[in-house]
Amino acid sequence: MPRGGRAAGDTARGREAVAGAMPAPSPGPREVLASSPEAGSRAAAAGSSSRGLLWHLQDKRLRLGLFEIDPGHELHQMTCMMQAGLWAATQVSMDHPPTGPPTEEDFSQVLTQVHEGFELGTLAGPAFARLRRSLGLADEDYQAALGPGGPYLQFLSTSKSKASFFLSHDQRFFLKTQRRREVQVLLAHLPRYVQHLQRHPHSLLARLLGVHSLRVAQGKKKYFIIMQSVFFPAGRISERYDIKGCEVSRWVDPAPEGSPIVQVLKDLNFEGKTINLGPQRSWFLRQMELDTAFLRELNMTDYSLLVAFQQLHEDEKGLGSSLIFRTVRSVRGIQSPEESGAQNRRLLPDAPNALHIVDGPEQRYFLGLVDLVTVYGLHKRLEHLCGTLCCLGRTFSPVSPACYARRLCQWAEAHTE
């Protein structure tokens, strides 16, 4: 039998509800046939060979500081399963694209596909397929980047969590393992998240593109999310930061000068630096207010503002008012200036990942809010109490959603000009 999997309706659980997330749909399972990822791998390999030696040399150069998850890596088997499963899962949305207006079922559907030795679940597949389409992301490109066409990449993370982090081989998509509870929270708020992006199409919130589960043999399910990488394209990025607007445990020992290691620094490493946005500053501060207010309403805390620097070339400077800039496709249909102002739209650079790119007079900045599923519950309240007792006079991460939102906006205002 091909490793691509059997017909999901014959061998899988079809649609199920994730406990605590959304109500279970009433219709029965839909039968779909998962295509073979081996066929996709051969197609990707053929396309890759046609690009020639120059492309491969450039690809290797852009991967400096990242590590391929090759056959000797401890996570190689798991990532191969993820690639095969995602290829087949994306094929489902290509063969059966969602039609008509969005429904509640789009947000509660779970499709489980059985492969040789593992199962891959796709949660809220139609809702994410619609979201990808609204961003102008073709399923064929999504499938090619996340499927078995090339190894996933790993970087040295400074995160305290036990999550695993990966990048697609083209560095366009970011994958992160999540706890079951975090996935439940994400799915419960997914309709409001989609609505927020519709109201504010230039939001700084990371674009979530998929949520999946992976079960090997009869083991425990592992969950992971896929999102658009904020730091893409990464070839010329010089510095990367993860900002929470606090001081405690927010320093990372920098890598030696000239080191190829891709390192994400923190708040205290940012001291003395400024984000010079020029006329874009007012847009950025307003969008920070809108996005953090949304997260506050969801009772979220402990999220991060990602910031990266890239020096503009001379011929790239001063293009902010020229015709090379455009508005994003996702805001079509907005007619009046009043609606445009309410949405806080801006002119976007004609570049990949334009929603997370803001050009200042001298620098290009990559900006995005990530880690959006930490609820201010009992655990975080206890962390806040401990921080209050142990970190007198210093700011720390676990605070109430209102304080957290206000503090991060104050950081943005103090570090921009």
Q: In angstroms, rounded to a whole number, what is the distance separating the alpha carbons of residues 301 and 402?
A: 9
Confidence category of residue 38, pLDDT binned at 50, 70, 90: low
Question: pTM for the complete prediction?
Answer: 0.81
- Grouping H, G, I as helix, E, B as strand and the rest as coil, residue 19 is coil
The pLDDT value given to residue 65: 64
Tokens of 319: 């293009």
The pLDDT value given to residue 50: 38
Which helix (H) or strand (E) element contains residue 187?
Answer: helix 180-199
Confidence category of residue 273, pLDDT binned at 50, 70, 90: very high
Average pLDDT for 14-41: 45
Per-residue pLDDT of 290-331, as tens digits, reads 999 999 999 999 999 999 999 999 988 875 544 334 444 434
Average pLDDT for 378-392: 51
Determine the residue type at 265.
L
The pLDDT value given to residue 294: 98
Tokens of 341: 């102002």
Per-residue pLDDT of 214-243, as tens digits, reads 999 889 999 999 999 999 999 899 999 999
Query: Residue 14 pairs with which residues in a beta bridge?
Result: 112
Q: In angstroms, rounded to a whole number, what is the distance separating the alpha carbons of residues 371 and 374?
A: 7
Which of 390 and 329 is assigned the larger pLDDT? 390
Average pLDDT of the chain?
Answer: 81
Q: In angstroms, rounded to a whole number, what is the distance separating the alpha carbons of residues 199 and 89?
A: 29
Please check whether residue 85 is in contact with residue 212, taking contact to mean a CB–CB distance below 8 angstroms.
yes
Tokens of 209: 């593109």
Which of 23 and 316 is assigned the larger pLDDT? 316
The pLDDT value given to residue 383: 56
Please check whether residue 196 is in contact with residue 294, taking contact to mean a CB–CB distance below 8 angstroms.
yes
Per-residue pLDDT of 57-111, as tens digits, reads 344 444 556 889 999 999 999 999 999 999 999 999 999 999 999 999 999 999 9
